[in-house]
Amino acid sequence: MDTEDKTICLTTAQAIIRFLACQYIKIDGVETRVCGGGFGIFGHGNVPCLGEALYDHKDVLPLYRGQNEQGMGFAAAAYAKYHLRQRFMFCTASAGPGTANLLTAAALCHANRLPMLMLCGDTFLTRLPDPVLQQLEHFGNPALGLNDAFQPVSRYWDRITHPAQVLQSLPAALATLLDPADCGPAFIALPQDVQGWTYDYPLSFFDRKVHRIRRQTPDVRELQDALKVLKDAKRPAIIAGGGVQYSRAVKELISFAEATNIPVIQTIAGRANLLEDHKLNLGPVGVTGSESGNWLAKRADVILSVGSRLQDFTTGSWTAFAPDAKFISLNTARHDATKHMALSLVGDAKLGLKALENDIGQYQAPPDWTRDAQAQRQKWDSYVLENTKVGNRPNSYAQAIGVINAICHPRDRIVAAAGGLPAEVTANWRTLDIGTVDVEFGFSCMGYEIAGGWGARIAQSEVEPEQDTIVFTGDGSYMLMNSDIYSSVLTGKKLIVLVLDNGGFAVINKLQNNTGNESFNNLIADCPTVAEPFSVDFVAHAAAMGANAEKVSNFVELEEAFKRAKAASKTSVIVMDVDPYDGWTTEGHTWWEVGTPHVSDHARVREAHQDWESSRSKQRRGV
């Protein structure tokens, strides 16, 4: 009998997990499972059937017990980032609130184009026991449930209504997770009864399969059009986005830039595409950019964007560039390649950059243009050096970043997200090695930091366990989600967490003040409903979760505490107070569009609105 004719009787849940265990990918010549395992919290919607299937595969698909489903999703996102979208984790949650907790993480993965597979419990397909515990009832549509809320934040969404569906749905979900153009979260709703139903699956469905990431060659005509524009450029610039990393195209980026002598500016996601001392690295661009990067953007006549979705923090809400500048957008995703009237070059970054270099001939950017740009970068370096210098001034994010930057290992991984730290890390961190910075600013999601650090550390320990994952977080994000300190201790995945306490949501307080508003409900001291302001004892809290924890008052103490954390074998939390008003990085910013009141009884608000709107005329128009 042929293998194709042989079958095996399995439950829906068993078939799903067995299929995942058989999927491989070759990375740097080594075959490994494309699914690194999963994060799970069990409940009545997933423990009897999916839990049983996972138990039998616990040695090949390790299941990490989360403390909060949202944190599990953040950890899965950071894991995928570390592995450059070539590997992913699944998250399993029970029906009802457990699954609902994954919604924010799904949106984060969707915005950042990151693979995460969600295997989530659902109500009973038969409806015989309805209404069941935690079921949402829609009076006019009994088929509509909580899991349908994931459709807008999933790249692939399905509900398994019969065991045979697995044969179609799982390969389709996997194809989405690994597709460079459509990559994002995949959601599989698993009704509780269907999870346990059986089907005679073909044994061939569970054959070992080795996947490859598709690399699309750019269209010849689009390539010719892009080359024509580039060759006419008098002041060219390259924007290097996160897609450069995902394509593993750093060498090609550097080779093309050096061959053409074109300066490079980086997005937040592409922050570690070039080493800090590369002669063509002009620094970050945009709202949280650099004076040198924004100098280049403002004056460039042709901008080659590589692997960027060109979000508003990169473009300064589309005011960072000259109105007549021409954009060429090299991107695997057509949606991103065609934004804002760009000349689209749809294709893989590695192949696209190779093709451009091969066909651009002897073209080089005018020497004066590159030389002037490099002079601007030297000025920015001087500013950062002064901005991060420890001296007789209040403790600041920038100073803390500078201290850690000076003594960490080049391969240590930096994780930050939301609040003021993404801007401060992007502006002040000096990249020591390629691909070592994870600043989550696609969805700018508070709470990602520690959970994401845990996921990044799980991935890092698979490849370079001797290095550390360093998390920068503020007190606000810490309070929002901190329980994965406990997860990291439980699983032996060491983190170094720096909690920089500025007494509340200080960066939003800064935005509040900058738009003419009085401080209100952001800093703890400015909350009218607070009866008695006090500071959280973060040291005691972190220690209660099993971490080493200490508080420092100055940067000499911070350096010594960090060295102790490096030497420790388990997670360390270092707490330091920073000033909520002083010490912010003040240079390197472009305009950013936020909604301000068009009418107000407050003069300062009216003045701020007029000042804010004065830059709107600089906005580049387009779709």
Of 40, 46, 17, 153, the C-alpha closest to 91 is 40
Q: How far apart are CA 413 and CA 436, in angstroms?
A: 5
Number of helical (H) and strand (E) elements in the chain, helices listed first:
24, 23
Compute how many other C-beta atoms are within 10 angstroms of the C-beta atom of residue 220: 10
Predicted local confidence at residue 615, as pLDDT: 85
Residues 362-395 as b/e (b if ≥16 CB within 10 A, e otherwise) read: ebebeeebbeebeebbeebbebbeebbebeeeeb
Helix (H) or strand (E) run with residue 170 in it: helix 166-178
DSSP 3-state assignment of 562? helix
- Torsion, Cα of 291, 292, 298, 301 (10° steps): 180
**Contact predicate 376/291, CB 8 Å:** yes
Question: 46: which DSSP letter?
Answer: T
Among residues 155, 335, 370, 373, which one has the least CA distance to residue 243? Answer: 335
Instruction: Identify the three-state secondary structure at position 426.
Output: helix
Residue count of the chain: 623
Residue by residue, DSSP assigns 566-623 as: HH-SS-EEEEEE--SSS----SS---------SS-S-HHHHHHHHHHHTTGGGPPP--
Q: What per-residue confidence (pLDDT) applies to 2?
A: 52
Residues with Cβ within 8 Å of residue 52, at least 6 apart in sequence: 11, 13, 14
Q: What is the pLDDT of residue 622?
A: 62
- Alpha carbon 399 to chain centroid, angstroms: 24
Q: For residue 153, give the nearest of 77, 83, 96, 81 by alpha carbon.
A: 77
Q: Among the residues of 308-366, which ranges form H helices?
A: 312-315, 334-337, 349-359
What is the 3 state secondary structure string of 452-516?
HHHHHHHHHHHHCCCCCEEEEEEHHHHHHCCCHHHHHHHHCCCCEEEEEECCECHHHHHHHHHCC
Strands 198-202 and 7-11: antiparallel
| Measured CA angle at 97 (ends 93, 99), to 5 deg | 30
Domains of the chain: 3-211 (3.40.50.970), 220-380 (3.40.50.1220), 388-577 (3.40.50.970), 595-623 (no CATH)
Tell me the C-alpha distance between 57 and 48, whole Å: 15
Average pLDDT for runs of 10 along the chain of length 623: 76 98 94 98 97 98 97 98 98 96 98 98 95 92 95 98 98 98 97 98 98 95 98 98 97 98 97 96 96 98 97 94 95 94 96 98 97 98 96 93 98 96 96 97 95 98 97 97 98 98 95 95 95 94 98 98 98 97 94 94 95 88 62
pTM above 0.75, yes or no: yes
